[in-house]
Structure 1
Amino acid sequence: MTLDLSALPPRRGRLAARPPAVPPGPPGAPGLRRLGLDPERDGLVLLPDGPGPFPLVVMLHGAGGVADGAVRLIAAAAERHGAAILAPESRDPRSWDLVRGGRCGPDVAFLDRALAATFAWLPVRAERIALAGFSDGGSYALSLGLANGDLFAAVLAFSPGFVAPPDYVGSPLVVVTHGSEDAVLPVTSCGRRVAASLDHAGYRLAYHEFAGGHVVPPDLADAALAAFLAD
């Protein structure tokens, strides 16, 4: 019997999908693949070269973004580290549910479906899965990642606005990067405040503030993945 994850109401932002005990066989040729779960708002998987199992980075786009843009932000770093990328798209084109309405809902359910579908064919290292995101996606990654620290070994937040986890489970490594000249989400009220709250809560935190705006510097994307994989 196949569990229909879309029929289950997400409870406090918890994700049910998990890699199987026995990973699937070699996934085939490297490159981009569509998830094939939704004709309009879907997602992409970027598959590295090799038979696997692979580390997996689940990368969430910013407000008004799409999967392709999210993949491009960390694709070079993922290739260098031999990691696969799963980039789902939010149900509402504007942004993620928690960011828009203060509650987890349809995006959690879709992310669960996307993870389950990916785990079914992609051999993944179960102990090396990270949730990452940029801007609104960074806020969502932080919030959802802290509620699912038993699945995600690390949370990588690039220029996040806030952290508001619906629950606290596990103790993932947290990496936060933010530009000192960010005019979209100012570092004083966003990056620094987020980092301070995470440090106060006792999380293992790596905070990188850089001279720049609302962007993901390639060297910091690389450093974030390196920290995740070395942890």
Structure 2
Amino acid sequence: MESSGDPNDPSRLGARPEPGPRGELSAGLQPLGLSPRRDGLLYVPASYRRDRPAPLVVLLHGAGGNAHHGLALLKELADEAGLLLLALDSRHATWDIIADDTYGPDVTFLDRALRQLFRDAAVDPARLAIGGFSDGASYALSLGLTNGDLFTHVIAFSPGFMAPAAQRGRPRVFVSHGTQDQVLRIDPCSRRLTPLLRRAGYDLRYQEFEGPHVVPPEIARDALEWFLPRAT
């Protein structure tokens, strides 16, 4: 079984962008080919060029979802922004820290996926985000803050909690939440989390919207404009 970046710390990702990618990527949607059962998807924008490092967002689905659900969060905007999207299936119904209260197989799988992508694609290390919705947002916050020396940005659409193993680096953070959310209610979730993030010293953008447990298109666009202010 492959391990994550640090065999003594299962929360750590070891993959890092590499200069001079060795692979050739075709534009469009393609499977990762790393698992026969629960795998993941890579979306390559039509404007991608191997001599021009592209921004990347890793996308994480909510409980019971899959990579297609994660990808849908930003796919409609990817070509416009020249954005690489990497969406993963969790190993089980949701992410390891949520299901088992510990980091493990999902970190390992993400590390494998990133190593493959960094080998084949030109990725801009200054524009590398992890994001998700619902449980995926909670996991993005947790893993993104733990690996803030890799991720420059964290995007959390309607998170429930965060459980970073450590505070590394200073990724910028975007959080959104619907005021009418009945699945993960805003008061014990984002209205509790965002003051903690500010007190910890993170550069935070927080947006509330009138609506339920969803990611409205305008919120997705706001997140992308925050991540890539010159791209839209």
TM normalised by structure 1 equals 0.93
Query: Residues 147, 6 of structure 1: CA spacing in aligned structure 2 closer, same or farther, 3 A cutoff?
Result: closer
Contact 1:178 1:191 in 2 (8 A): yes
Q: Does 1:179 align with 2:178?
A: yes
Cα deviation, 1:168-195, whole Å, max 9, x if unaligned, reads 1100000000000001000011111111
- The 5-angstrom pairing of residues 27-38 of structure 1 reads 27-28=25-26, 30-38=27-35
Identical-pair percentage = 50
The CA distance in 2 between the partners of 1:75 and 1:103, in whole Å, is 30
The CA distance in 2 between the partners of 1:6 and 1:165, in whole Å, is 16
Q: Name the SS of the counterpart of 1:132 in structure 2.
A: strand
Task: Report the equivalent of 2:160.
Answer: 161
Structure 1 residue ranges, 4+ long, deviating more than 4 angstroms after superposition: 4-8
Q: CA deviation at 1:228?
A: 1.5
The CA distance in 1 between the partners of 2:18 and 2:3, in whole Å, is 15
Contact 1:10 1:104 in 2 (8 A): no
Contact 2:67 2:87 in 1 (8 A): yes
Task: Report the equivalent of 1:49.
Answer: 46
Q: CA deviation at 1:10?
A: 6.4
Q: CA deviation at 1:78?
A: 2.3
- The 5-angstrom pairing of residues 1-231 of structure 1 reads 5=3, 9=7, 11-24=9-22, 27-28=25-26, 30-50=27-47, 51=49, 52-92=52-92, 94-230=93-229
TM normalised by structure 2 equals 0.92
Amino acid at match of 1:22: G
Contact 1:146 1:172 in 2 (8 A): yes
Query: Residues 95, 227 of structure 1: CA spacing in aligned structure 2 closer, same or farther, 3 A cutoff?
Result: same
What RMSD, in angstroms, separates the aligned Cα atoms of the two structures? 1.7
Give the gaps of 5 or more residues in structure 1.
none
The CA distance in 1 between the partners of 2:23 and 2:46, in whole Å, is 14
Q: Name the SS of the counterpart of 1:128 in structure 2.
A: strand
Q: CA deviation at 1:12?
A: 5.0
Q: CA deviation at 1:126?
A: 1.5
Cα deviation, 1:51-85, whole Å, max 9, x if unaligned, reads 14210000000000000111112111222211110
